[in-house]
Amino acid sequence: MNPSAAIRIALALSGIALSIAATATQADEHRERGVTEALRHDVDTIVVIYAENRAFDNLYGHFPGARGLEEVIDRHGQPRAAYIPQKDRDGSVLATLPQTWGGVTAAGWTPVVMQAASGGLPNAPFAIETAFTPAAGVELATATVTRDLYHRFFENQMEIDGGKNDAFAAWADAGGLTMGHFDNSGSRLYALARKYTLADNFFAGVFGGSFLNHQYLICACAPAYPDANAPASGAHPTIAVLDTDASGAYLPHLTTKPTSPASALDGPPVYVLSGNVAPANYFGDGQYYVVNTMQAPYQPSGNRPVDATGNDLLYANPAAATTLPPQTQTNVGDLLNARGVSWKWYAGSWDAALADGTQAPTAVRSVIYTPSLPRGNPDFQPHHAPFNYYANLDPVAHPAERAAHLKDYTDLVADAAAGTLPAVAFYKPQGNFNQHEGYANLDDGDAHIANLIAKLQASPQWPHMVIVVTYDEFGGVWDHVAPPAGDLLGPGTRIPALVISRYARRGFVDHTPYDTASVLRLIRRRFDLPTLPGLAVRDVALREHGERPMGDLTNSLDLGHERR
């Protein structure tokens, strides 16, 4: 064959390949347009229920058809070859899991498993109900309130250890409890997951804890702290002390004190400072961003009013070290407002917490951060109300907007019954119903959330409703699936997510990659919203790391068909 003929053949083949690729692209675009049209036709109401602090394996590790614990342990609980054993702080394999420092069960709760009865467990995932029975003589259950575990920004990255998930026991303050899981198969939410859709590849939007993941849920961003070293209020937030590389660049690794135990078997780690704010320029723009819990500038807040002068009772003391200045970044509420789309953030005991917070600073609080024995107190968690940090919901400057968008659980129930839910509804259960370790159990939250879902299903809006039930973050608990490599904020550890709707796929386990902001992606697609900057940053980072893009939950839905 002469060279010119070979060139002509090559060009022809190249043209065919380009034509095939173009045809495939056009087919994909046509299919996606069809999904968007069906979504906008079928779905009028999106309800997001945001529970607390559970990794996927912790609750759904044995769910049929899911990527669960069977990948790493056999039916006897023995590790398979795929299990990556937990390492000590020097990188060596731990001979056993550490004790659960401070005891397995939360203080004051029964049955009791003390620290002394928690040591010597094999280096493997374990069933919380029976693992401590030989030493403590008791069995635990989903009604048990176990102790809290670290769930903070840099600690979570240290635990994930580049995707190996092998340093949870090393860097968790609770020790061995991080490797435990429950038999959640008798719960009402588990039954709903079997009936509808369970997503088993859904990750916390960001590393670490509740505060930052709540912020990410509404803005795909970390809150900004203007000039943390010299704030105008005079407050000085804590700034994390991190290790650096040879060039002086920050590493996502907290600096330990010389007195920190060398081995996880000898005690929890001790850091120089695990602060609430990342160092300036950690994210590359010279600014300070908040990565661990700070308090809202408006009541209800974890910080009390400075006094009762004028409108001061409506605000948190701005000079308190943990009061976050009002935020002005664009959030999903702003985008919905601009499109004329209704939305509300409902919270359990919001009205009671507001009354509790707007008392004189010397008054005894009975709702905000007030767990009780037995579990009757609402224990409202102010850092779980992310819109309450935004300047455009200031109680004096914008009272009408605030009253329109920040509502109580009783309002949610009434709106559902009347068929007047907004197009987008977020719901945050109060503390004793949110399933958070340390102050709540699984059973109470399961009953509360399932009862709410039943009320939503009885609503006139149910025929065109999608309910997403997910968790804010992992609660310090190990999971065996590596998070995708993304940006400097996350994604973090894998968490459960359920999609419940007349349009949800039935009995389906959705393996599509998702994170917390997939909720925003669904809202954006349904209501034709602009893209929040943080979503674009995440998209680019995932692509640069060769990861699959995050879905928008439409793969969990069977759209475009009439439903009974």
- Tens of pLDDT, residue by residue over 106-124, are 999 999 999 999 999 999 9
| pLDDT value, residue 232 | 76
pLDDT digit string, tens, across residues 214-260:
999 999 999 999 987 778 778 889 999 999 999 999 999 999 999 99
**Whether residue 502 has pLDDT greater than 90:** yes
Residue 478 located in a structural domain: yes
Give 181's strand partners: 127
Residue 544 located in a structural domain: yes
What's the start-to-end Cα distance of the chain, in Å? 65
Helix axes 3-42, 518-527, angle to 10 degrees: 80
**Whether residue 86 has pLDDT greater than 70:** yes
**For residue 526, what is the DSSP state?**
H
Supply the Cα-derived Rg of the chain in whole angstroms.
24
Cα–Cα distance for residue pair 192/389, rounded to 1 Å: 33
| pLDDT value, residue 290 | 97
Q: Ramachandran region of residue 310, left (φ > 0), alpha (ψ -120 to 50) or beta? A: left
With cut-offs at 50, 70 and 90, classify the pLDDT of residue 83.
very high
On whether the CB atoms of residues 380 and 430 are closer than 8 A, the answer is: yes
pLDDT digit string, tens, across residues 458-475:
999 999 999 999 999 999
Residue 260 located in a structural domain: yes
Query: Which residue segment(s) compose the domain that 468 sits in?
Result: 36-63+182-556
On whether the CB atoms of residues 143 and 197 are closer than 8 A, the answer is: no
Q: Is the peptide bond before 305 cis (omega within 30 degrees of 0)?
A: no
Cα–Cα distance for residue pair 46/332, rounded to 1 Å: 13
In terms of residues, how long is the chain? 564
| pLDDT value, residue 6 | 62
pLDDT digit string, tens, across residues 170-191:
998 999 999 999 999 999 999 9
Cα–Cα distance for residue pair 479/156, rounded to 1 Å: 12
Backbone angles phi, psi at 85, to 5 degrees: -65, 155
Nearest to 326 by CA among 393, 391, 232: 391
Residue 3 located in a structural domain: no
**Mean per-residue pLDDT of the chain:** 94
H-helix or E-strand containing 12?
helix 3-42
Cα–Cα distance for residue pair 40/281, rounded to 1 Å: 41
**Whether residue 1 has pLDDT greater than 60:** no
Cα distances (Å, whole numbers) of residue 336 to 180, 211, 249, 528:
40, 22, 39, 9
Of 14-18, 309-313, 392-396, 398-402, minimum mean pLDDT range:
14-18
| pLDDT value, residue 217 | 98
Backbone angles phi, psi at 124, to 5 degrees: -170, 160
| pLDDT value, residue 298 | 98
Cα–Cα distance for residue pair 178/168, rounded to 1 Å: 7
Q: Is the peptide bond before 237 cis (omega within 30 degrees of 0)?
A: no
Residue 551 located in a structural domain: yes
Residue 151 located in a structural domain: no
Helix (H, G, I), strand (E, B) or coil at 323: strand
Per DSSP, the residues of 43-96 read --EEEEEEE-S--HHHHHTT-TTSS-GGGTB-TTSPBPTT--PPB-TTSPBPSS
Q: Which percentage of the chain shows pLDDT scores above 90?
A: 90
User: Tokens 């917070």 — which residue?
Assistant: 357
The pTM assigned to this predicted structure is: 0.94
Tally of structural domains, the chain: 1
**Whether residue 564 has pLDDT greater than 50:** no
State the CATH number of the domain containing residue 330: 3.40.720
Nearest to 158 by CA among 475, 484, 492, 472: 492
Cα–Cα distance for residue pair 409/411, rounded to 1 Å: 5
Q: What's the whole-number mean pLDDT along residues 326-348?
A: 98
Cα–Cα distance for residue pair 555/197, rounded to 1 Å: 10
| pLDDT value, residue 4 | 66
Cα–Cα distance for residue pair 74/71, rounded to 1 Å: 8
Backbone angles phi, psi at 390, to 5 degrees: -105, 140
Cα–Cα distance for residue pair 389/391, rounded to 1 Å: 7
Residues 6+ apart with CB under 8 A from 188: 446, 447, 449, 450
Of 21-25, 288-292, 410-414, minimum mean pLDDT range:
21-25
Q: What's the whole-number mean pLDDT along residues 209-213?
A: 97
Residue 91 located in a structural domain: no
Helix (H, G, I), strand (E, B) or coil at 472: coil
Q: Ramachandran region of residue 165, left (φ > 0), alpha (ψ -120 to 50) or beta? A: left
User: Tokens 């990861």 — which residue?
Assistant: 547
pLDDT digit string, tens, across residues 35-70:
999 999 999 999 999 999 999 999 999 999 999 999
H-helix or E-strand containing 133?
helix 133-136
Give 501's strand partners: 466
Residue 303 located in a structural domain: yes
Cα distances (Å, whole numbers) of residue 471 to 88, 428, 516, 537:
29, 10, 9, 23
